[in-house]
Amino acid sequence: MNIQLLSIKVSKISTMELINNPLISCICVSVEDSKKLKKSISQFISQTYDQKELIIVFKDFNGKKKKLLNKYHNYNIFGFELNCSIDQMFDYGFSKINGRYICIWEETNWYHAAKIQYQYHAIVLKKMPICLVNYIVLFDSNQEKAYISAKKLWLETLMCEKKELLRKRYSNLNDYLEEIFEKSNKIFLINDVPNLQIKTVNENLSIEEQKEIKQHSYQLNESDSQFIGRLVKKNNYGENDSLKLDSTLENPIFDTLDEEVKLKKIIPKIIHITYKEKKVPEKFQKTYQSIKTNHPDWDIKFYDDSDIKHIIQKEFPILLKIYESYPINIQRIDLFRVLIVYLKGGFYLDLDMHSFKSLNELCSFDLVLAEEIVYTKPQDKRFNFTGIRQIGNYMFGSKPKHPFWVELIKEMINRCDQKIIHECDVLESTGPGVLSDVFFEKQILYSNVKILKNKFKRCHSGCPAVCCHFGDFAAHLHVNSWTWTNKTINKPENDFSSSISKIYKKEVKLSLDSLE
C-alpha cells in the first residue's frame, strides 16, 4: 500500500449523488486562546466544500471571542457557551448541529483545504456512513520535527452521518468506533492521504503520551519538517498552502514498509509500444534502444495499426465502431493504449519516451501514473482545462483488469462525439485531459496507486515548463508527430461531429459493466 498523496485540488464531483451537497456540521470545542481559534476558523473558511457550518462550544464565550465570531457572521459559524468537561462540551455541540453529517474540528490541528470534500466524497462513493483517516501528519513544535503517524483510528479525523452519533456520547466514541470497526463494514479508512490533517502532538499531552504517539511513526526529513512547522504556525490559510503540502511530501513511509508486499510483483513485466508500422524510424531509434537496454528481461510488445484493429475486433468488438469513428488517428491510439494495459497489464510507453532506468521497482503497485504538468490558474482558464494538475498519458502502467481503465473508457465514450476544433479538444476527448478528470474524480476508490511527480524536472524538448517526465524513470521528448503543426497531419473540419448515437453509447457503456 503506497502513500501516494493527493493530487488535490479535488476534482469537481460529477456523480449524481454529489450534485446536491448536504450540509456538513463541523464541531469545535474551544478552550484555547483567540489566536488559535482564529487560525481554526480561517482553515474552516478555506475548505473547498461549500455546504458547511462550524459549531463552536466555548468554556468562556467572552467579549473578545464574540467579537471575533461577529467578523465571520456570513460563514455559518455559531458559538455556544458551556463550562464543563471536554466530553460534555462535544455532546452539547452534537445536539446543536443542523447538518446531515458531522465532522470533528479540533482548533489545534491544521486541515487541508479539501479535507471535508475528500472525506464526504469517500463516504458517498464507498457507501459507508463513517470515514476516518488512518495516517495523519504529526508535528512536534518543541523539537521542530514532523512525522507520518503510526496506523490508528484517529478520532479527530471523524466524519460520519449524524444518525450514527445520536445516542452516543463523545467519551465512548473511541470504544464505539473500535467495536464497529471489528464487527461491521460501516467504517471506511483513508490509508494513503496523511496530508489531510496535521496534529501538533506536544500540546495538552504529557511526555509519556507524546512518546507513545510518536513511537511507531515515521520521521520526515529536516526540510519537510521545517515546511510543516511554518505551515502550522501561519495565521491565515488558503488552498495554495494545501497544494504546497501536497507537492512537498513525497511518499515517505509506505515505500519503506511491508517489504514482503513491496517485493511482490503485481504489474507484469510487459511494455506496450505503438507505431503505424513495424519498422522503428530513425528519429525514434535512440529512445527505443534506451527502453530495450533498461528492460532486458521484459516482454516488449510492438503494435502497428493493423495489430491494433485486430486486437480490438477480437477482444473488444463492441468498441470497434467507437474506435473507427474518431477523426484523428491519435484518438484511436489513445483508446488502444488504455485497452491493451487493461487487457494485459504492464506499462504503455510512447515511442518518444527516453528511458533512464528499469521500471522493476514500480511493479509492486496496482496502478502507476505520472504528473505531466501543473498549470497556473491563468493557463487553466486560457485552455479551458478542468483541473490545474494534469496526469500524462504518454506512459502509464497497471495490473491487468484494473477498474480505473473501465471508468476512463466510459468517459472516452461520453466524449467521442465532441467537436474537434483545436488540438486541446483532442487532449480532452481521449488524451491527458480526460484521463486526469476521471482519475481525480475516482481516485478515492483505488488503493496502492503511485503518482510519480516531476520534482522540478524541466521538459527535455525545449519547453521552459517543469513537465513531461515519468518520475525518475523516463522523459517525454515530445516529437508530437500527431499535432497539426506536423504538416503531414490534416486538421479535421471544424463542424466534425460523430455519427455515434446516444443509444449506442449507452449500450456500449452497459456492456463495459461486465468488465468490472
Helix (H, G, I), strand (E, B) or coil at 104: strand
**pLDDT of res. 304:** 94
Strand ranges of the sheet holding 218-219, from the earlier edge strand across to the other edge = 109-111, 197-200, 137-140, 145-148, 218-219
Task: Give the pLDDT of residue 234.
Answer: 82
Measured CA to CA, the distance from residue 516 to residue 503 in angstroms comes to 21
CA angle 499, 504, 510 (to 5 degrees): 145
d(CA 475, CA 459): 8
First-residue to last-residue Cα distance in the chain: 21
Full-prediction pTM beyond 0.85? no
CB 354 within 8 A of CB 472: no
- Inter-CA distances, 108 with 84, 126, 199, 503, Å: 19, 29, 7, 54
**What's phi and psi for 507, nearest 5 deg?**
-60, -40
- Structural domains of the chain, with CATH: 16-249 (3.90.550.10), 270-514 (3.90.550)
Place of cell 483488469: 401
Give me the pLDDT at residue 504, please: 65
Q: What long-range pairs does 507-513 form, CB within 8 A, spacing at least 24?
A: 507/318, 508/318, 508/319, 508/322, 508/413, 509/410, 509/413, 511/318, 512/406, 512/409, 512/410, 512/413
- CA–CA gap between residue 438 and residue 430 (Å, rounded): 11
- For residues 381-402, b (16+ Cβ closer than 10 Å) or e, as one string? eeeebbbbbbbbbbbbbbbeeb
Q: Phi first, then psi: what are they for 434, rounded to 5°?
A: -70, -35
Strand partners, 189: 132
**Whole-number pLDDT of residue 213:** 65
Q: What pLDDT does 178 receive?
A: 74
* Rounded-to-integer distance, Cα 50 and Cα 32, Å: 26
For each of the chain's 516 residues, which pLDDT tens digit applies?
A: 232 333 333 333 333 344 457 999 999 998 766 778 888 898 899 888 888 999 999 988 888 888 888 888 788 999 999 988 888 899 899 999 999 999 999 888 999 988 998 899 888 888 899 999 988 999 988 888 898 888 888 889 999 999 887 777 887 777 777 777 767 778 888 887 888 999 988 755 666 666 666 667 888 888 889 999 998 888 776 667 777 777 666 543 333 333 333 345 689 999 999 998 888 989 899 999 999 999 999 999 999 999 999 999 999 999 999 999 888 888 899 999 999 999 999 999 999 999 999 999 899 888 999 988 655 444 444 444 444 568 989 999 999 999 999 999 999 898 887 777 676 777 787 888 899 999 988 887 887 788 887 755 444 444 544 357 888 899 888 765 545 444 444 455 444 445 566 666 667 767 677 665
Chain-centre distance for alpha carbon 313: 34
Q: How far is CA 343 from CA 260, 270, 272, in A?
A: 27, 12, 11
